[in-house]
Amino acid sequence: MIVYWAYALLVVPWIEPPADLHPEEAITEEARLGANGAVDVPLRELQSLFPPGSWELKNPKILESDRATLLLQEYHNHNDGSVEIHPCTIVFRDETQPLRQSVILEAPGGALLQFDQPLDINHAKIGRLVKGQLIGPVTIRSDWKEPGPEDDLLITTRDIQLTEKTIFHPAAG
Residue 132 β-bridge partners: 113, 162
**Which residue spans within the chain are E strands per DSSP?**
61-64, 68-77, 82-92, 103-107, 111-115, 129-142, 153-163, 167-168
Please state, as a whole number, how many other Cβ atoms lie within 10 Å of the Cβ of residue 103: 17
Total of domains in the chain? 1
Q: Are 108 and 126 in contact (CB under 8 A)?
A: no
- Residue 19 lies in domain: 2-172
CA 106, CA 109: separation in Å to the nearest integer?
9
pLDDT on residue 129: 80
Other Cβ atoms closer than 10 A to 93: 21
* Spatial separation of the C-alpha atoms in residues 132 and 41, rounded to whole Å: 27
The secondary structure of residue 125, as a DSSP letter, is B
* pLDDT, one tens digit for every residue, the chain (173 residues): 676 666 666 666 666 656 555 555 555 555 555 554 444 556 787 888 898 889 999 889 888 877 788 899 998 888 787 889 999 999 988 777 777 788 899 999 999 988 887 776 666 666 778 889 999 999 998 887 676 677 788 899 999 998 878 888 887 65
Q: In the chain, what is the greatest distance between 2 CA atoms, to the nearest angstrom?
A: 86
Q: What residues form DSSP beta bridges with 120?
A: 125
What is the pTM assigned to this prediction?
A: 0.68
